[in-house]
């Protein structure tokens, strides 16, 4: 069959496809982009143009594109048994092996995994497991959930309610009742003259004040992304997350690390919880667990909590595709690559520090007000010619800058007035050089 023309594909897409997180008027004006193939850190677009993907898809393609051995592992599994559920005392081999592997890799004590298909579902599962746990242990009044401003935890009704981004909540009249917000440590955004450390101290004090106002006996859990990703790559100062964790412990509130972006090497550790000694009660993963090759989420649960849940009768929660064997086979092959190629160590000792050095060098650019990052994630806050005072909620300079950088051959993400990067863990020095050269050229053009 002849391949369909770009015009035909775009016409069908326009007529029938509701895109996620897309301004459809803008899509119609510019035409749908279609990625046709990908290898390593490079994707090929609809015009056969190579682009370096400095966002790893959506912060997830940790091992890079085109890994034959993941495709082969999935093929083998699908040929043996393409699908069978994990309900009713049954499961499949790769799903068992992945649960065991995660228990081995995860921070101490997080020995149980509940599988789902995405980060949203993994957080949603955490919410339900926590609710059941609090009820089973006789703390039924503990039902509220605390999250931070600029948090991103997903798109279901409950996980949108946990998300601290008005652009995500307002169109749907969320949050639901019972979701409480405390300030996240976005010192640049607060712009009140305090240093990052001072602002984080203020956030901790405010968090404690709000916990006490709500009543700790009404609060089930606090969820936190160690580095807030979609909210703008918000990197906390040393000590803040551990203090937040200790605050939860003092008030008998479960602490959940949403590591959907940070798990599996991005920060130069298998988990941010290891890096910053967070000892979470639950740890939520997705994305890098398969490097995006197939959809998979895993909610890791502390053993004492799992004990209460497993002794509590029928666990009436689960998805048809919880522990889908093709996805868990992909995850096993993916984790094997990360281990064999020492990609976590590479992010920690080599390409992570190199990316951070290049990021710091761009701090001197006239259009850059702040850079921040950790390991293989980073952000640049950009400003117009007249400086920060001219920024408004609609300037969206980061989005504009990301468009210019794409014209220069590199995909980054524009969020409000900042540019975010998170390339695959296999990125080379040469690719990092090319990424930053393109970012610089884009920023040079930003003021017109």
Ligand X SMILES: Cc1ncc(COP(=O)(O)O)c(C=O)c1O
Contact residues: ligand X, CB under 6 A = 58, 118-120, 123, 152-154, 225, 229-230, 258, 260-261, 286
Shortest distance, position 287 Cβ to ligand X, whole Å: 6
Distances (CA, A) of 71 to 75, 256, 289, 291: 6, 32, 15, 12
CA dihedral 364, 365, 366, 371 (to 10 degrees): -70
Nearest to ligand X of 94, 292 (CB atom): 292
Q: What distances in angstroms separate CA 34 from CA 3, 31, 294, 406, 422, one per listed residue?
A: 13, 9, 19, 14, 21
Minimum distance of ligand X from residue 116's CB (angstroms): 9
Residue 446: CB minimum distance to ligand X, A: 26
Closest CA to 288 of 148, 124, 154, 423: 423
Nearer Cβ to ligand X (43/283): 283
Q: What is the nearest approach in angstroms of ligand X to the Cβ of residue 393?
A: 22
User: Closest residue to ligand X, Cβ-based?
Assistant: 119
Cα–Cα nearest to 260, from 179, 163, 180: 163
Is 299 or 438 the residue whose CB approaches ligand X more closely?
Answer: 299
Min CB(402)–ligand X separation in Å: 16
Nearer Cβ to ligand X (112/153)? 153
* Least separation in angstroms between CB 225 and ligand X: 4
In whole angstroms, what is the distance from residue 209 CA to residue 432 CA? 43
Q: Give 153 or 358: the residue with its C-beta nearer to ligand X.
A: 153
Q: Helices 93-105 & 325-340, crossing angle to 10 degrees? A: 40
Residue 92 or 290: the one with the smaller Cβ distance to ligand X is 290
How near is the Cβ of 242 to ligand X at its closest, in Å? 19
Closer to ligand X by CB, 120 or 161: give it: 120
CA distances from 417 to 53, 251, 413 (A): 20, 37, 11
**Closer CB to ligand X, 296 or 306, in the complex:** 296
With respect to ligand X, which residue has the nearer C-beta, 145 or 230? 230
E strand residue ranges, 269-321: 282-285, 297-301
Distance of alpha carbon 31 from alpha carbon 24, whole angstroms? 10
Shortest Cβ 174–ligand X spacing (Å):
15
Q: What is the rounded distance in angstroms from the CA atom of residue 146 to the CA atom of residue 183?
A: 10
Report the distance separating Cα 114 and Cα 322, nearest Å.
Answer: 8
Shortest distance, CB of residue 88 to ligand X, whole angstroms?
A: 26
Concatenating the DSSP letter of every residue in 39-104 gives: EBTEEE-TTS-EEEETTHHHHT-TT-B--HHHHHHHHHHHHHHS---S-TT---HHHHHHHHHHHH
- Residues 84 and 401: their CA atoms lie apart, in Å, by 46
DSSP conformation class of 373: E
- 95-106: b or e for each residue (b if 16 or more CB lie within 10 Å)? beebbebbeebb
Q: Which residue lies nearer to ligand X by CB, 174 or 308?
A: 174
- Specify the residue, 60 or 347, whose C-beta has the smaller distance to ligand X: 60
- Cα–Cα dist 178/271, whole Å: 29
Residues in CB range of 350: below 8 A, 6 or more apart = none
423 burial level (CB within 10 Å; 0-12, 13-18, 19+): buried
Work out the burial of residue 256: count CB atoms within 10 Å of its CB; fewer than 13 is exposed, 13-18 middle, 19 or more buried: buried
């Amino acid at each position: 069959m002849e391949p369909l023309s770009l015009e035909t594909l775009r016409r069908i897409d326009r007529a029938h496809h509701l895109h996620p997180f897309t301004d459809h008027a803008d899509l119609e004006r510019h035409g749908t982009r279609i990625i046709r193939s990908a290898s390593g850190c490079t994707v090929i677009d609809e015009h056969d143009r190579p682009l370096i993907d400095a966002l790893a898809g959506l912060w997830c393609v940790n091992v890079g594109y085109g890994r034959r051995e993941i495709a082969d592992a999935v093929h083998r599994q699908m040929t043996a048994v393409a699908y069978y559920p994990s309900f009713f005392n049954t499961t499949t081999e790769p799903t068992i092996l992945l649960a065991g592997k995660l228990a081995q890799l995860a921070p101490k004590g997080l020995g149980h995994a509940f599988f789902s298909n995405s980060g949203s579902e993994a957080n949603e599962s955490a919410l339900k497991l926590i609710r059941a746990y609090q009820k089973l242990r006789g703390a039924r009044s503990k039902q509220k959930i605390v999250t931070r401003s600029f948090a991103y935890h997903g798109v279901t009704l409950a996980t949108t309610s946990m998300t601290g981004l008005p652009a995500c909540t307002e169109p749907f009249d969320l949050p639901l009742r019972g979701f409480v917000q405390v300030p996240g440590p976005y010192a640049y955004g607060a712009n009140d003259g305090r240093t990052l450390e001072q602002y984080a101290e203020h956030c901790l004090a405010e968090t404690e004040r709000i916990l006490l106002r709500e009543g700790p006996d009404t609060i089930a859990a606090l969820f936190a992304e160690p580095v807030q990703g979609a909210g703008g790559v918000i990197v906390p100062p040393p000590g803040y997350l551990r203090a937040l964790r200790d605050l939860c412990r003092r008030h008998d509130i479960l602490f959940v690390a949403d590591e959907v972006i940070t798990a599996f090497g991005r920060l130069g550790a298998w988990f941010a919880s290891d890096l910053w000694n967070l000892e979470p009660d639950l740890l939520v993963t997705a994305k890098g667990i398969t490097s995006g090759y197939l959809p998979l989420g895993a909610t890791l649960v502390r053993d004492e909590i799992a004990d209460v849940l497993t002794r509590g009768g029928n666990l009436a929660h689960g998805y048809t595709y919880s522990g889908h064997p093709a996805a868990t086979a992909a995850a096993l092959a993916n984790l094997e690559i990360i281990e064999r190629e020492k990609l976590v160590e590479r992010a920690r000792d080599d390409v992570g520090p190199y990316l951070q050095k290049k990021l710091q060098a761009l701090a001197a650019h006239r259009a850059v007000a702040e850079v921040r990052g950790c390991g293989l994630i980073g952000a640049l806050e950009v400003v117009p010619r007249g400086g920060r005072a001219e920024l408004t909620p609609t300037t969206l300079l980061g989005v504009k800058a990301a468009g210019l950088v794409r014209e220069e051959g590199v995909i980054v993400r524009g969020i409000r007035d900042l540019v975010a990067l998170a390339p695959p863990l296999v990125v080379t020095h040469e690719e990092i050089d090319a990424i930053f050269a393109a970012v610089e050229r884009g920023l040079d053009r930003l003021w017109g």
